[in-house]
Structure 1
Amino acid sequence: MEDYLILAIGAGTAAAFLIVALIFVALRPKRSTRMHVGIPETVLLFRNGEVVDHTPDAAELFNRTILTGMGWDEVREALSPGFPALPADLPISQMIWASPNVPHAELIAEPSANRLHLRLRCTPDGAANLFRSRCQTDEHNRLVELSRNAPDALWHTDTNGNLLWNNDAYEELCRDAGKTPEDSSPIDLKLPTTRVERTTRVSVKPDGHPQRWYEVVSRPVSDGWMHYATSIDSLVNAEMAQRNFVQTLTKTFAHLPIGLAVFDRDRQLVLFNPALVDLTHLPVDFLSAKPNLLSFFDHMRENRMMPEPKNYASWRDKLYDVVSAAREDRYCETWNLPSGLTYKITGRPHPDGAVAFLIEDISAEISLTRRFRSELELTQSVLDCFEDAVAVFSRLGVLTFSNAAYRAQWDCDPDSAFAEITIVDATKDWQQACDASPIWPDLREFVLTLRDRQSIGADLVLKTGEPMRCALCSRWPPVRHLSGSPPLQLFPDVINWSKKNIAL
């Protein structure tokens, strides 16, 4: 009987405990079925389109201490790198976005009346990845500051040219062009057809401001292109100034009869004038193509506008020695061409390693010099045929000509003398070889007087007893310098010494 009583009491106690457990389970608050045990969440609470509350870790997500009052545009801008499909307006229905860039990350929007719960959920990816991301945070922030504050415009586009990211300098460039970053690119830039780096020079014309020039370097990246725009206004202005200067020089040298060829430091022809075309007979299109120094002289040789060297191969090797000599301002040659023309080639140094060659046709000058030299030799031959001693003095009293009889009579050679022989020097020698006579001062005055004079003469006796006759004449037959030019009085004063038998 007691055993049945004990069993009854135990059964009643067990039933009471079971009832209490069921009541506890029924009364326990229900947890959301969306919660995943062990998965951290960052939650933002919106009310009327603005953030009113958030979890503590949300401050790190937006890199700011106060999130209250943030609108959907600011939140969307911060989350768009991981969730590019976020709508431009605040969600009005429950939505879930999976991140294409961050594995195991999703964003959940739960609207309710004028409220919105925005949950960012990310499955832990291991201690190693978490530690590495923490260590790279400082470097990431540093790179962000460097790129955003860079003085050059930087922007990232996809393969279709759509803007993905830009820095502050790019936004300033857009403002100068009268556009916004959301509009089309302020620079008319065509993407390369191949995945290779390309450099493009472009310009932007702001309203009311001078045109601005940029050099854009486009480099392929995994998801599109990175573009780097550097301002080159100073470089373009320098190139335009140089171009204008070259044009000015070209106009200045266009009417010169001397051919001009200027080669830069790379030995490329950068400037020439029309006279060079006339003198070298080189085609204009060839010179306009900026040939190098070797090609320039090769074409001159083919046109027979330079003397044929004995060994042209070795001459080409020595051509750089010619350039070095020209850079030191010591290159000057005279070319006697097969056509009979004579060219004078002069090398002159220019700044920045450039060198200029001047080609001058001196055929007329050489011909005149040769003709004048021939006339002088003819005159000398005529004077040497005289038996009497003849000496010719210039207006300044300098001995310019003498014949063989004079040099034999007075035992002198004016051509081999170190200094010029004047009438004073000559009369001293004559006076020492002759007896006393009053003719010597008159003779010196006759030669050094510039006005017209009458011919004079005197009979002299050498100290050897030989009589001589000295005649002075200020009229010598004129010689024409050039055909059609007026007569040129070359020999104004002539002193003629002739032997004469004088009764002593």
Structure 2
Amino acid sequence: MLRCGIAAARSRAARKEVVLSPLAATAFALAILGLLLGLYCFHRARASAGDAAGGLPSAVFLFHGDRLVDACPSARQRLADLPRDGAVEPALAEAFASFPGIANALSDLLRRGREFDVSAPSGALRGRATGDWRRLELFDSAGAIATRVAEQAPIPIWRETDDGTVTWGNAAWRALGRDRSAADGPLVPPERRGQGPARIAVPRPGVGPDLWLEVTSLPDPPGGWLNYAVDVSAEVGAKRTLRNFVDTLTMTFAHLPIGLAVFDRERRLSLFNPALSDLTRLEPDWLAARPDLFGFLDRLRERHRMPEPKDYRGYRNQLAEMEAAAAQGIYQATWPLASGETFRITGRPHPEGALAFLFEDITGEMTLKRRFRTEIALGHAVMDRLDCAIAVFEPSGSLAFANAAYRSTTGMPAPPESKDATRDEDAAPMGIVEATRIWQDKCEPSPVWGDLRDFAAQTHDRAEWTAEVQLKTGARLSCRFAPLPGGATLCVFSDLPGSG
């Protein structure tokens, strides 16, 4: 019976626990849900209030009761003299004195947790309470934000009247050291106001070179101007340096007899020297107008300062090939002109995709070459008319010249009559060794040919000498060997009277 009673009691206790556990769980869940709902409504109310006040607060102060316990960085920056802890109500009331009734509102917030919202031209101030915690939030107005942005802008901004009196200027403008009165006159001349950016030099005596500003002036009715300046001193200095460099190049190239034409990446003439105008007979004013490459070449063609093309299509193709070759740095051509002049044209690539062409008058050089070739041809013709066989060997032993009598005697082939003829690349070059072997085959045994090879190989202490040899035909030859300037060797073979 006792065991049954104990078991029954345990059974009733277990059933009671089973009944109470669901009730406790439900109550706990409802409490959590209520808390979350309260927090949600609280944050929604704060967000709505923030939107109504103009967005996020610019400064926040956190209190526990009437004691300041924390503040955001912007709040510390705005109110740097406030202590981190301790009663700060009087200091806050003084700092926010522009807000109406702020002293009483702060007292009610900190002591009684009474929330408030006050506004002023500079913005809005809001107090909120949650239990013993107090929160003070400052919202700047759009005008205050704009003023702070303009004041802290890194470029000079100022407002001035029509006569140049400055009524407001930010920190960057004050750093220029300008007088606010109209004594210095307006920085931007009145006639240039409202005409787009104007570049103005601001003197800085005792500090350094002038400060160059690019100022944009906009009307600010009634009777005023808003000015925004950008420092362009680096750009002005770079342009001045570039201009000086170009002037230096121009002065340097002005004394060169070679014409220079530089075309930029757009293929427009960007630089030329006086020699280009003299050689091409193109007017400097026309060249200064920066014609493009094809226009420049077309004008040369019109002035007969380039070879006349056979057809226009081939001419245009030639210009395109000329540009492509110059860009690769391999263009070089000789232009024979109808006037009898000759130009050497060289094209080279320049930085940034530019092209440079050099025009060189080589008329004198070509005339000298033609005259030299004529004289050489005349000398060869005279040598060919002589009865004696003549040959000249270079210091290396190669045959440099042989007249007709020598070639006939030794059986050598005649040289090409045309400059376009080509020699047989497979044929072995004629040298002193090959020549003496030919003579040895045609003559009776003689030590002359070995002595000749030794004589031609010597580089100094050489003297003219003579000898006689007999051909296998019975004829006798007189041989004369003489040193020539530069280490060359002259060989002359002539028939002896009464031989053969």
TM-score, normalized by length of structure 1? 0.60
CA change 1:204–1:159 in 2 (3 A) is: closer
Structure 2 counterpart of 1:403, which letter?
Answer: N
Return the match for 2:479 from 447, 463, 471: 471
How many angstroms apart in 2 are the aligned matches of 1:283 and 1:188? 40
Structure 2 counterpart of 1:348, which letter?
Answer: R
- SS class of match (1:453): coil
- Establish whether residue 456 from structure 1 lines up as the match of residue 490 from structure 2: no
Deviation of the 1:431 alpha carbon? 3.2
In terms of mean alpha carbon deviation, does 339-348 or 159-168 score higher?
A: 159-168
Return the match for 2:201 from 203, 206, 213: 203
How many angstroms apart in 2 are the aligned matches of 1:320 and 1:190? 52
In terms of mean alpha carbon deviation, does 254-263 or 449-458 score higher?
A: 449-458
Instruction: State whether residues 164 and 182 of structure 2, in contact with CA within 8 Å, keep that contact through their aligned partners in structure 1.
Output: no
Q: Which runs of 5+ in 1 are unaligned?
A: 1-59, 79-118, 122-133, 477-488
- SS class of match (1:383): helix
Q: Counterpart in 2 of 1:231?
A: 231
Instruction: State whether residues 470 and 495 of structure 1, in contact with CA within 8 Å, keep that contact through their aligned partners in structure 2.
Output: no
CA change 1:440–1:163 in 2 (3 A) is: same
How many angstroms apart in 2 are the aligned matches of 1:321 and 1:161? 61
Matches within 5 A, 1:167-206: 167-173=170-176, 175=177, 178-180=178-180, 187-190=187-190, 198-206=196-204
How many angstroms apart in 2 are the aligned matches of 1:324 and 1:352? 15
Offset from partner CA, 1:423-455 (integer Å, 9 cap, x none): 244324433554421112322344345556334
Q: Counterpart in 2 of 1:380?
A: 380
Q: Counterpart in 2 of 1:4?
A: none
Structure 1 counterpart of 2:463, which letter?
Answer: R
Q: Counterpart in 1 of 2:287?
A: 287
Q: Percent identity?
A: 36
Instruction: State whether residues 254 and 273 of structure 1, in contact with CA within 8 Å, keep that contact through their aligned partners in structure 2.
Output: yes
CA change 1:426–1:233 in 2 (3 A) is: farther
Return the match for 1:152 from 147, 152, 155: 155
Q: Counterpart in 1 of 2:243?
A: 243
Deviation of the 1:212 alpha carbon? 3.4
CA change 1:242–1:308 in 2 (3 A) is: same
Give the paired residue count: 368
Q: Counterpart in 1 of 2:22?
A: none
How many angstroms apart in 2 are the aligned matches of 1:472 and 1:493? 10
Matches within 5 A, 1:39-54: none
How many angstroms apart in 1 are the aligned matches of 2:403 and 2:275? 46
In terms of mean alpha carbon deviation, does 421-430 or 235-244 score higher?
A: 421-430
Offset from partner CA, 1:65-124 (integer Å, 9 cap, x none): 8574899xxx8xx9xxxxxxxxxxxxxxxxxxxxxxxxxxxxxxxxxxxxxxxx989xxx
How many angstroms apart in 2 are the aligned matches of 1:316 and 1:251? 34
CA change 1:240–1:314 in 2 (3 A) is: farther
CA change 1:172–1:321 in 2 (3 A) is: farther
How many angstroms apart in 1 are the aligned matches of 2:167 and 2:266? 43
How many angstroms apart in 1 are the aligned matches of 2:192 and 2:302? 43
How many angstroms apart in 2 are the aligned matches of 1:326 and 1:168? 55
The alignment's C-alpha RMSD in Å is 4.4
- Establish whether residue 430 from structure 1 lines up as the match of residue 433 from structure 2: no
How many angstroms apart in 1 are the aligned matches of 2:246 and 2:179? 38
- Establish whether residue 497 from structure 1 lines up as the match of residue 493 from structure 2: yes
How many angstroms apart in 1 are the aligned matches of 2:180 and 2:442? 109
Return the match for 1:214 from 208, 212, 215: 212
Deviation of the 1:330 alpha carbon? 1.0
Structure 2 counterpart of 1:242, which letter?
Answer: L
Deviation of the 1:231 alpha carbon? 1.8
Structure 2 counterpart of 1:253, which letter?
Answer: F
How many angstroms apart in 2 are the aligned matches of 1:287 and 1:209? 43
- SS class of match (1:474): strand
Q: Which runs of 5+ in 2 are unaligned?
A: 1-74, 80-90, 100-118, 122-136, 416-422
Offset from partner CA, 1:370-429 (integer Å, 9 cap, x none): 111122222333333445433122455432111334334434459636575432443244
Deviation of the 1:360 alpha carbon? 0.9
How many angstroms apart in 1 are the aligned matches of 2:217 and 2:327? 42
TM-score, normalized by length of structure 2? 0.60
- Establish whether residue 296 from structure 1 lines up as the match of residue 296 from structure 2: yes
How many angstroms apart in 2 are the aligned matches of 1:326 and 1:352? 14
How many angstroms apart in 1 are the aligned matches of 2:442 and 2:146? 105
CA change 1:158–1:324 in 2 (3 A) is: farther
Q: Counterpart in 2 of 1:17?
A: none
Structure 2 counterpart of 1:442, which letter?
Answer: D
How many angstroms apart in 1 are the aligned matches of 2:162 and 2:294? 46
Q: Counterpart in 1 of 2:128?
A: none
How many angstroms apart in 2 are the aligned matches of 1:354 and 1:263? 6
The structure with the largest helix share of the pair is: 2
How many angstroms apart in 2 are the aligned matches of 1:292 and 1:66? 73
How many angstroms apart in 2 are the aligned matches of 1:225 and 1:313? 61
In terms of mean alpha carbon deviation, does 228-237 or 298-307 score higher?
A: 298-307
Q: Counterpart in 2 of 1:334?
A: 334
Q: Counterpart in 2 of 1:392?
A: 392
Deviation of the 1:364 alpha carbon? 1.0
Structure 2 counterpart of 1:167, which letter?
Answer: N
How many angstroms apart in 2 are the aligned matches of 1:317 and 1:165? 65
Q: Counterpart in 2 of 1:348?
A: 348
How many angstroms apart in 1 are the aligned matches of 2:143 and 2:470? 116
Deviation of the 1:222 alpha carbon? 7.9
